[in-house]
Amino acid sequence: MISIGPDEAGQRIDNFLLRICKGVPKSHVYQVLRSGQVRVNKGRVAQTYRLAAGDAVRIPPMRVAERDETRAPAAEFRILLEDDALLIIDKPAGVAVHGGSGVSYGVIEQLRAARPAAKFLELVHRLDRETSGVLVLAKKRSALTHLHEQIREGRMDKRYLTLVRGDWQNRRQHVKLPLFKYTAADGERRVRVQADGLPSHTIFNLLRKYGDYVLLEAELKTGRTHQIRVHLASSGFPIVGDDKYGDFALNRELQKADGSRVALKRMFLHAYRLGFTHPISAESVTVHAALPADCQRFLDALPVGQTA
């Protein structure tokens, strides 16, 4: 039996169980929830139930899966902002935000290992493994709840820089294509445009043209998985270096330098700006992460661009 305090209040019961029941397979956690073995105040609840202070949660015995005892190595990342409530970092490309799907550990596990005294540290949102840039973590449950509320209400301003090849025309273009998430035959998580998918909205602002390439700012109005990548690919402008939805022949070509053009061995997608209301002070906060050096070098080697 666990009594819910103010720090746990407001979170969904499934997320609470996944955090408490470390080592228990995710599928098993959801199975005991669906079967009613987890009780809140002696009653059954849906997996979407949000805990309240004072709730009494009964968690049944569960078997922990056998796992590799290799611990995540402690690591710190470039800090963009830190205070009593928040830790905001500049995540490098190629690093997952958390373990799972063939990845033993990610940013969150490495930061927890580096900060063993931290009582609370949770991801506020996620970035794809191949995407770099601003990543927010909460150091208090109240901060996490407040920021999740801003995300749900569309009050968090997320901006990305991305590069595509082609004749992009509009200075400002809205893309509203419904997105459906599925699992491919190889087990990879994928997303496609589908009529019965979730409503999804991205605004693309043309920043500069570099010969055959175009630098865009992507402004997220919804936060679906792979949203920017699929919206651009479905519009005929896949992101340079995207190994899931991109132009694979172009990607192979760009991995090798050619004359003055340097090689690009990553996806050109970077979360460069994020704005929100601070969960404690209520002040407006905007955090920036400069374009990574490898992306900047690639741009600098392209023909002199035309400002939009």
Residue 9 has pLDDT above 60, yes or no: yes
CB 93 within 8 A of CB 131: yes
- Catalytic site positions: 128
What φ, ψ does residue 24 adopt, rounded to 5°?
Answer: -85, 130
Query: What are the two backbone dihedrals, phi and then psi, of residue 292, each rounded to the nearest 5 degrees?
Result: -60, 155
Q: Average pLDDT in the 67-96 region?
A: 88
Residue 103, pLDDT score: 74
Tell me the mean pLDDT in the region 266-284: 97
Is the pLDDT at 109 greater than 60? The verdict is yes
> How much is the pLDDT for 281?
96
Please tell me the predicted confidence (pLDDT) of residue 63. 73
Q: Taking residues 129-158, what's their average pLDDT?
A: 95
pLDDT-derived band at 126 (thresholds 50, 70, 90) equals: very high
CA-nearest of 132, 130, 134 to 147 is 134
What percent of the chain is predicted at pLDDT more than 90?
A: 73
Say what the pLDDT of residue 22 is: 74
Q: What structural domains and CATH numbers belong to the chain? A: 2-58 (3.10.290.10), 79-150 (3.30.2350.10), 156-307 (3.30.2350.10)
Quickly state the pLDDT bin for 101 (edges 50, 70, 90): low
CA–CA separation, 283 and 52 (whole Å): 27
Of the chain, the percentage scoring pLDDT greater than 70 comes to 96
The answer to whether residue 136 scores a pLDDT higher than 90 is: yes
Of the listed ranges 22-36, 133-147, 192-206, 228-242, the one predicted with least confidence: 22-36
Whether the CB-CB separation of 162 and 210 falls below 8 Å is answered with no
User: Would you state the pLDDT for residue 91?
Assistant: 98
- Residue 174 phi, psi dihedral angles, 5° rounding: -90, 130
70 pLDDT higher than 60: no
Q: Count CA atoms closer than 13 A to 44's CA, side-chain side.
A: 7
Please compute the mean of the pLDDT values over residues 92-120 and round it to a whole number: 88
Average pLDDT over residues 110-131: 94
pLDDT tier for residue 69 given thresholds of 50, 70 and 90: very low
| pTM of the entire predicted model | 0.80
Taking 3-state DSSP, the helix, strand and coil percentages for the chain, each rounded to the nearest 5, stand at: 20, 30, 50
Q: What is the pLDDT of residue 68?
A: 47
Mean pLDDT of 45-55: 91
Closest CA to 231 of 243, 219, 241: 219
Confidence band for 223, pLDDT divided at 50, 70 and 90: very high
**For 10-19, what is each residue's pLDDT tens digit?**
889 988 888 8
Q: How far is CA 203 from the centre of its chain?
A: 18
pLDDT above 50: residue 285: yes
